[in-house]
Amino acid sequence: MNIVFMGTPAFAVPSLEMLIEEGYNVVAVVTQPDRPQGRKKVLTPTPVKEAALRHGIPVLQPQRLRNPEAVAELAEYKPDLIVTAAYGQILPKSVLDMPPLGCLNVHGSLLPAYRGGAPIQRSIINGEKVTGITLMYMAEGLDTGDMIAKVEVPIEDDDTAGTMFDKLSLAGARLLKEQLPVLVQGKVAAEPQDESEATYAPNLTREDEKIDWTKTSRQIYDQIRGLVPYSGGFTLWDGDVFKVWACAKPEKSDQGKGDAEPGTVLEVGESGIVVKTGDGVLTLLTVQPSGKKAMDAAQFSRGTSLVPGTVLT
């Protein structure tokens, strides 16, 4: 059986590695083109490409998979099955119809909830306590295909998008390992999604990173967790961007401290920067002033001009 694997970030690597370790015949890997990374804009391969090259597997990197040339190149590998995990492009019908056993997707949510490109981040931002993996057949719509199997993964209070990416990537590989033999034997009973329960998780934008101090402490705490370690949240201090990378978990005892307007800095010390929110306070633990590196509250407090009474906007 010829398998073509499609994926891009580190999230997809455990699924690819599992296929190789279990002896499946991965004939090619499709991933996004190399992109410039860092301040020096060094052209960098995707994690999936790096994994494929370590195993000597041919790598295809089309700018657009919809291009006839890309489809023709893919067809040369005669895939019986295509497996995708966070590839980053929508598969055209010509590709969906190519493999006799169909196209599978390892999706990072419990479908039909959180369809789209940022299900893990948005589930944390929205304060969900449980997420998971859905193994599904791919269809022409956005994550609309029939579901093969699911596994739930709890979201702990100290989880971030980074830790959940790691947990879900491993859970996805395990689920794929369990279900592939069943699929190959033709014993899969896929279940259609209930469209009435569908929700969406579009890719994050700069707007999603802005901190609204009128929200509750818990909402802001969850927002920051959902953005770490990729971008962090930000507010403005004297007109400059002031990033927030970590906060202390809000406690009930933090509620109702004074009548200051949301965004007002109440304390600046080695244990944290206490800021008024819509329902109480939030303690910032790791911050990044404009033009500087991220630092903990103790380091920041020793040389800052940020004083109680300052309003972050």
Cα 198 to Cα 181: distance, rounded to the nearest angstrom: 29
| CA distances in angstroms from 201 to 111, 118, 164, listed in the order given | 11, 5, 16
109 known ligand binder: yes
Q: Rounded CA gap, 11 and 84, in Å? A: 11
> In a 3-state reduction of DSSP, which class is residue 209?
helix
C-alpha–C-alpha distance, residues 68 and 104, integer Å = 22
CA distance 276 to 196: 39
Contact 213, 260 (CB under 8 A): no
On whether 112 is known to bind a ligand per the annotation, the reply is yes
Residue 111 assigned to a binding site: yes
Q: Going along the chain, which residue ranges are E strands?
A: 2-7, 25-30, 35-37, 42-44, 59-60, 81-85, 103-107, 130-137, 147-154, 233-237, 240-247, 265-269, 272-276, 281-289, 295-296
Given a contact cutoff of 8 angstroms between Cβ atoms, the answer to whether 120 and 134 are in contact is no
Counted residue by residue, the chain has a size of 313
Q: Does 290 belong to an annotated binding site?
A: no
Query: In angstroms, rounded to a whole number, what is the distance separating the alpha carbons of residues 97 and 231?
Result: 37
Q: Take residue 284 and report the two structure tokens written for it.
A: 């910032």
Amino acid found at 219: Q
Residues annotated as binding site?
Answer: 109-112
Please report, in range form, the residues annotated as the binding site for (6S)-5,6,7,8-tetrahydrofolate: 109-112
